Amino acid sequence: MKSSVLGSGLRVVAAPCPTNTVYIGLAMDAGTRDEEDGESGMAHFTEHLSFKGTARRTSRRIITRMESVGGDLNAFTGKEETVYYCTCQREHFGRAMDMLFDVVFHSLYPQEEMDKEVEVVVDEIESYNDSPSELIYDDFEALLFDGHPLGRNILGDATLLRQYRSEDIRRYADRLYTPDRAVLFVYGNIEMKDILRHIPQETLPKAGCTHVRQPVERRHEVMERVMEKDTHQAHIMMGAQSYGGNDSRQLALFLANNILGGPGLSSRLNLALREKRGLVYSVDSTLTTYTDTGVWAIYFGCDHEDTGKCKRLVRRELQRLCDAPLSDRALNAAKRQITGQIALSYDGFENVAIGMGKRMLHYGRTQTKDELIERIHALTAEQVWQAARDVFDPARLTTLEYR
C-alpha cells in the first residue's frame, strides 16, 4: 500500500488488487455533519446533483461515459463523508479518473436539473419513511445526538429541499469540495506514478477550507421514547453512544459486539430471542463509528405483546457480558470467528477500496487485513470486558420504540 500528498492537499492512497478490475474513488470530507444551520439534506442533495452536468458534460454524457465501456459510476453520502467511486477494467483507468474529477470538482448544479432531481430525493425520503426497520436507525441517532449536527437525517426535509437554489449548492460545494478535504483511492494494479500522472492538476480548485466540525460530548443519560407509527410489529432500538474511530477501546468493543449480536446465527442475542424462543425474525447489534464518537445499537421487531419479554432478554444478555471477563476458551472462539469474517469480507473488493479511502480521509492512515487481524489477536479478556461494561451497561440504555 502506498500513499502520497500533493501540493494542493489532495491525498492519494493506492493498493494492488488481485484482478484486472480497478476500483477508484474520491472520498470527500463533507457529510451531513458539515451542513450549517439551514442546510439540512444539502450534503446528500449535492451528491445527487453532481451527476447532472459539468462545464464539459451534460447529465446524459455523465451517465453513459463509464457505462459504455461496462464500468460503473456511483456515490453515497454519510454523516461525515461523501464518496464518489467508479469500477472499471484497467484499460479504462484514465477515463474513470477524468470522469471522477470532473463530476466532483466541476459540477454546475443547474437549476433546471435541481427542479427535477428534488422530486427524486423527496420520493427517496418517502420510501424511507415507509420502512420502519430502516427509519428507526436515523430516529435513534437523532435521539442520541439531539441538538448536534450528527443527529440530522442524511436525506433532509422535503420542504427545505424544495427551497434550495443552484447558488446554495454551489456555495456548499465551494466551501467543502476542495482537494485538501479529499482522498483519491485506487485499488488496482496501477503504479503510483501512473495514478499521479492521470490526476488533472490544472482542474483542481484552490485549497484553503477553514470549516471546523462541532465536537461531540459523550452522554450517559438514560432516554426512552415511544413513537406512534401504527405498524404491524413493534420496532425497538436499544443502545448508547460509544467510541470514536481513534479510541483505543474501539476494537475491543467491536469484538464484544460481534459476540453479542454479530452476523452469525450463533450470536448471543439471536440464540436468546430467536432460536430458543421464536420471538423475533432477526435481531442485530451494530456499531457505527464516527471520528470522535460512535453509536452502538440493538434492533429487533416483534409482536407488540412480546416487547417487554424481548427487552428483558436483551438486558440479561448485556448483563452477562458485563458481569465477568470471557474465559480463554470463549475469547479464542470469538477471535477465531471474527477474524474469519474479516478475511471473507476482503473478497468484496469494492468495499475494501472504499474502506481504504475512508480510513485515510478520517484518520490519515491505512490498515491491511493482516494488521487488523493481528490487533484482534492481541486483545485481552480484560480489555473486552472493560469495553462491554462501559458501553453495554443495561442501566444506561437509550430506548426508542415504534408502535
161-170, pLDDT tens digit by residue? 999 999 999 9
278 belongs to a structural domain? yes
211 belongs to a structural domain? no
Are residues 135 and 8 both part of a single domain?
Answer: yes
Confidence tier at 202 by pLDDT (50, 70, 90) = low
Are residues 246 and 189 both part of a single domain?
Answer: no
The candidate with the shortest Cα–Cα distance to 384, out of 295, 221, 257, 196, is: 257
Are residues 387 and 314 both part of a single domain?
Answer: yes
Rounded average pLDDT over 209-215: 79
Are residues 144 and 253 both part of a single domain?
Answer: no
Confidence tier at 212 by pLDDT (50, 70, 90) = confident
Are residues 143 and 175 both part of a single domain?
Answer: yes
Decide: helix, strand or coil at residue 82.
strand
347 belongs to a structural domain? yes
Are residues 53 and 188 both part of a single domain?
Answer: yes
Are residues 169 and 234 both part of a single domain?
Answer: no
87 has a pLDDT exceeding 90:
yes
In the prediction, which pLDDT does 79 show?
Answer: 98
In the prediction, which pLDDT does 172 show?
Answer: 96
**Which grid cell sits at 228?**
406512534
The candidate with the shortest Cα–Cα distance to 109, out of 164, 160, 49, is: 49
204 has a pLDDT exceeding 80:
no
DSSP state of 304: G
Are residues 145 and 232 both part of a single domain?
Answer: no
Confidence tier at 359 by pLDDT (50, 70, 90) = very high
Are residues 237 and 184 both part of a single domain?
Answer: no
What is the dihedral angle through the alpha carbons of 31, 34, 39, 42, rounded to the nearest 10 degrees?
Answer: -20
Distance CA 176, CA 132 (A): 32
Decide: helix, strand or coil at residue 135.
helix
Please give the span between the terminal C-alpha atoms of the chain, in angstroms, as a whole number.
49
Distance CA 54, CA 72 (A): 18
214 belongs to a structural domain? no
DSSP state of 68: T
The single residue listed with the C-alpha cell 500513499 is 3
Domain boundary among 203, 234, 249: 203
Are residues 105 and 238 both part of a single domain?
Answer: no
392 belongs to a structural domain? yes
**Domain extent at residue 144:** 2-203
209 belongs to a structural domain? no
pTM of structure: 0.95
Distance CA 144, CA 290 (A): 14
C-alpha neighbours within 13 Å on the C-beta side of residue 374: 5
Whether 156 contacts 44, CB under 8 Å: yes
Decide: helix, strand or coil at residue 219.
coil
208 belongs to a structural domain? no
210 has a pLDDT exceeding 80:
no
In the prediction, which pLDDT does 219 show?
Answer: 80
208 has a pLDDT exceeding 60:
no
The single residue listed with the C-alpha cell 473486552 is 384
258 has a pLDDT exceeding 90:
yes
Distance CA 244, CA 24 (A): 26
Instruction: Give Cα 197 to chain centroid, integer Å.
Output: 30
Domain boundary among 203, 237, 272: 203
217 belongs to a structural domain? no
Whether 224 contacts 352, CB under 8 Å: no
Are residues 147 and 250 both part of a single domain?
Answer: no
Confidence tier at 275 by pLDDT (50, 70, 90) = very high
| CATH classification at residue 24 | 3.30.830.10
The count of structural domains within the chain is 2
Element at 113 (helix H, strand E): helix 111-129
Domain boundary among 148, 171, 203: 203
Are residues 196 and 312 both part of a single domain?
Answer: no
Phi/psi at 327 (nearest 5 deg)? -70, 165
203 has a pLDDT exceeding 60:
no
List, in order, residues 6 or more apart from 339 with CB less than 8 Å away.
373, 376, 377
